[in-house]
Amino acid sequence: MDSQQDSIQALTEIRDLMQRSSKFLSLSGLSGISAGITALIGASVAYLRLKTDAFNYENTEHMTVLTRRDMIEFILIDGTIVLVVAILSGVFFTIRKARKSGQSIWSPISQRLLTSLLIPLITGGIFCLAMFYRNMLWVSFPATLIFYGLALLNASKYTVRDLEYLGIMEVILGLVSLFLTGYNLLVWAFGFGVLHIIYGTLMYFKYERGTAHS
């Protein structure tokens, strides 16, 4: 009986070692939660600003050139702040989890994950900037969801499978948003805010809760 238990334990250790060598397992659920909260705050600020009578992004054809430029500058600044805060909080929680689990934060696997993530994100960022430049603001909100979802799908092969499900949901939500132009900001807030909080919470209870108290 003891030898059988030893064999099972050895196989478990080998499996864990192989998984650690092929997957980056230090993505923290708290990163998703913090990113979601940040996105909801940014979306709320944008909603309060963009829904004013003189600054309504749903009626851009009636805007003056100056008002349209001001609106685009505001959205870019608001989006940049949300992105920077989300990235910084994500890096913080990921590094913290990696140190607790004894995993290197900068390894060949994490480098491949980062590359897989950045290629669709940078492509999508350039695309969205082009839409801003062409005054096609309504396309930018769905595009951020679609390209972000594709980035998650591309990177999911180097980390936990749960990231793939989040990516699929983001892409679907972005495609739906293309046909709901009057609700773009609301759908964006749901995709980057609510879905991230749900995903992060599930990730935390699934992978981190036990280790947090150990």
Q: What is the pLDDT of residues 60-72, one digit of tens each?
A: 554 545 466 777 7
Flag whether 71 is in a domain.
Answer: yes
Q: What pLDDT is recorded for position 26? A: 65
Q: What pLDDT is recorded for position 52? A: 58
Q: What pLDDT is recorded for position 79? A: 85
Rounded to whole angstroms, the Cα distance separating 177 from 174 reads: 5
Is residue 202 within 8 Å of residue 162, measured between CB atoms?
A: yes
pLDDT in tens, 81-127: 998 898 888 888 888 877 777 777 777 777 888 888 889 989 998 99
Flag whether 202 is in a domain.
Answer: yes
Q: What residues have CB less than 8 Å from 130, skipping those under 6 apart? A: none
Flag whether 26 is in a domain.
Answer: no
Q: What pLDDT is recorded for position 98? A: 75
pLDDT category of residue 214 using cuts at 50, 70 and 90: very low
> Where is pLDDT greater, at 43 or 66?
43
* pLDDT, averaged across the chain: 78
- The total number of structural domains in the chain stands at 1
Rounded to whole angstroms, the Cα distance separating 156 from 163 reads: 5
Flag whether 96 is in a domain.
Answer: yes
Provide the b/e sequence for 122-151 (b: ≥16 CB within 10 Å): eebbebbeebbeeeebbbbbbbbbbbbbbb
Flag whether 168 is in a domain.
Answer: yes
**Whether pLDDT at 178 is above 60:** yes
Boundaries of domain holding 90: 31-212
Flag whether 14 is in a domain.
Answer: no
Is residue 67 within 8 Å of residue 54, measured between CB atoms?
A: yes
Nearest to 160 by CA among 94, 102, 210, 77: 94
Q: What pLDDT is recorded for position 50? A: 73
pLDDT in tens, 16-26: 444 444 465 66
> Where is pLDDT greater, at 212 or 157?
157
**Whether pLDDT at 28 is above 70:** yes
Flag whether 189 is in a domain.
Answer: yes
pLDDT category of residue 211 using cuts at 50, 70 and 90: low
> Where is pLDDT greater, at 188 or 213?
188
pLDDT category of residue 182 using cuts at 50, 70 and 90: confident
Average pLDDT of the segment spanning 20-44: 80
Flag whether 51 is in a domain.
Answer: yes
